[in-house]
């Protein structure tokens, strides 16, 4: 069996759940199997977009991030469901338990995908046997399909898992790159987004092979240090390890939201910044961290986006402070044009236990006097689902998935690992 496990190299899996949200719903309700299904937000609102869809829907042209109206035009019999995050969280937890039963070297990267280092799992069989058994276990116990990439490093494992879906298992060795990887369009390479692909296309880099053959100094001028890194990845070089502790690393906490209509109404804008500040504050407290940098993001009606931030002398976590600083940044940098999206982020995070705030007598008295009020407000918020003292007479829209859900899931996974 040792021929499958190199003496110096690694054997890495990338496990990716196929059409995860839709697959979980079909497992919960088998009548949905084989039907065009999409998970999305409120169909009456412009921000209602496709989060994920079944392969039957994808065959009709339905894609992630596509507006609902467009998806329904392509697939009139499309079944649309709102997300059920508790259901997805539970399924994901069960899936990661299966991965962790094989090896302790598991690194979740989102709710539906993660890396495994199985280099030391020779006693369980060949990598291909382990992958087949894992795929079968997930399918039998959770009724969810997955694809698994097998490679000597994380980058190649990620690329391999994308090569055959659903229920694919793909081995990608370095000797396979000229045939399997290099002919692909450069935009299909992990780590290259649409804007980067556009930049590369403008200098006649269309395939991954073109990227490999490009002059490294020209790539650096075009993309900075990332240009050389991408070229190394394309050559199959990725020194990053499968790090179970990576789930403890987070540098910022933020929330953004698209307005129902492009607006210049200051009252509506102010309410949204307040709402976003509250969400960020809640998440900071949940993760027991504080931050020292506040950033506001403004996306205008023409999709032009700006971000402005300020470094603070003290660490913060309270909603009022985040809102006051964020709104001040907004007022200084808004040009009066209609706004489509707003975002609030707190960064430069530090765990509370790692710092001791230096309070003078006046600051101490002020904070101490507020502490009981904060505790009472948080208890009422937990009980009634809203801030009783600062009710803005607007509903929290929990139907639309946010990036923060993925981040919060990893936080929960982290806490579970601490408890075990």
16 appears as a binding residue in the annotation = yes
CA distances from 238 to 188, 223, 356 (A): 17, 18, 39
Given the candidates 1.10.3720.10, 1.10.150.20, 1.20.1250.20, 3.40.50.2300, the CATH classification of the domain at 182-234 is: 1.10.150.20
- 405 Cβ neighbours under 8 A, 6+ residues apart: 85, 111
Please report the pLDDT score of residue 359 as a whole number: 34
Residue count of the chain: 420
**How do 339-347 and 252-263 pair as beta strands?**
antiparallel
3-state class (DSSP) for residue 303: coil
For the chain, what percent of residues have pLDDT higher than 70? 80
Token pair belonging to 152: 């000597």
Please report the pLDDT score of residue 313 as a whole number: 82
Query: Residue 321 and residue 311: Cα distance in Å, rounded?
Result: 13
Residues of the chain with pLDDT under 50: 1, 46, 356-368, 371, 382, 385-403
Please report the pLDDT score of residue 249 as a whole number: 61
Return the active site residues. 113
Please report the pLDDT score of residue 314 as a whole number: 83
Please report the pLDDT score of residue 225 as a whole number: 85
Query: Residue 193 and residue 191: Cα distance in Å, rounded?
Result: 6
Query: Residue 384 and residue 63: Cα distance in Å, rounded?
Result: 37
Beta-strand ranges (E) seen in 236-362 are 252-263, 289-300, 305-316, 339-347, 350-351
Q: Where are the domains of the chain?
A: 21-83, 182-234, 250-419
Please report the pLDDT score of residue 34 as a whole number: 95
The 8-class DSSP code of residue 236 comes to: T
Please report the pLDDT score of residue 404 as a whole number: 52
Token pair belonging to 88: 């997805």
DSSP line for 163-209 = SSTTT-EEE--GGGHHHHTTTSBGGGSTT--HHHHHHHHHTT--BHH
The fold adopted by the segment(s) 21-83 is MutS, DNA mismatch repair protein, domain I (3.40.1170)
**How do 146-151 and 169-171 pair as beta strands?**
parallel
CB-based contact 294:345 (threshold 8 Å): yes
- 75 Cβ neighbours under 8 A, 6+ residues apart: 36, 57, 60, 61, 62
Model confidence, pTM:
0.66
Please report the pLDDT score of residue 379 as a whole number: 54
Query: Residue 8 and residue 187: Cα distance in Å, rounded?
Result: 32
CATH, range 250-419: 3.30.1490.100
Please report the pLDDT score of residue 6 as a whole number: 76
């Amino acid at each position: 069996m040792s021929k499958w496990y190199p003496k110096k190299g690694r054997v890495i899996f990338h496990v990716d759940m196929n059409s995860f949200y839709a697959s979980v719903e079909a497992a919960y309700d088998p009548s949905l199997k084989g039907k065009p299904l999409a998970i999305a937000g409120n169909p009456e609102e412009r921000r209602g977009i496709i989060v994920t869809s079944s392969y039957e829907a994808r065959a009709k042209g339905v894609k992630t991030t596509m507006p609902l109206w467009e998806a329904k035009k392509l697939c009139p019999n499309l079944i649309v469901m709102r997300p059920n995050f508790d259901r997805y969280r539970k399924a994901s937890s069960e899936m990661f338990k299966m991965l962790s039963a094989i090896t302790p070297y598991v690194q979740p990267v989102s709710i539906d995908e993660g890396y495994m280092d199985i280099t030391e799992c020779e006693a369980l069989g060949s990598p291909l046997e382990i992958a087949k058994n894992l795929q079968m276990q997930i399918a039998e116990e959770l009724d969810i399909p997955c694809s698994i990439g097998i490679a000597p490093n994380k980058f190649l494992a990620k690329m391999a898992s994308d090569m055959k879906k659903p229920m694919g298992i793909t081995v990608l060795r370095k000797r396979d790159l000229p045939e399997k990887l290099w002919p692909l369009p450069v935009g299909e390479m992990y780590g290259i987004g649409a804007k980067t692909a556009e930049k590369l296309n403008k200098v006649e880099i269309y395939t991954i092979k073109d990227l490999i053959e490009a002059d490294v100094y020209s790539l650096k001028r075009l993309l900075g240090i990332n240009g050389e890194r991408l070229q190394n990845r394309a050559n199959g070089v990725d020194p990053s390890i499968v790090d179970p502790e990576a789930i403890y690393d987070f540098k910022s906490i933020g929330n953004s939201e698209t307005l129902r209509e492009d607006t210049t109404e200051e009252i509506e804008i102010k309410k949204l910044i307040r709402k976003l500040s509250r969400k960020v504050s809640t998440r900071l407290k949940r993760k027991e961290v504080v931050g020292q940098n506040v950033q506001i993001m403004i996306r205008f009606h023409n999709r032009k986006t700006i971000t402005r931030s300020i470094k603070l002398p003290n660490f913060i976590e309270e909603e009022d402070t985040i809102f006051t600083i964020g709104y001040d940044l907004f007022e200084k940098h808004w040009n009066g044009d209609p706004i489509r999206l707003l975002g609030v982020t707190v960064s430069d995070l530090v765990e509370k236990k790692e710092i001791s705030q230096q309070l003078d007598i006046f600051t101490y008295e002020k904070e101490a006097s507020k502490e009981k009020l904060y505790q009472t407000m948080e208890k009422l918020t937990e009980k009634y689902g809203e801030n009783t003292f600062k009710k803005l007479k607007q509903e929290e829209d929990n139907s639309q998935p946010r990036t923060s859900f993925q981040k919060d899931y990893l936080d929960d996974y982290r806490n579970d690992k601490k408890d075990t």
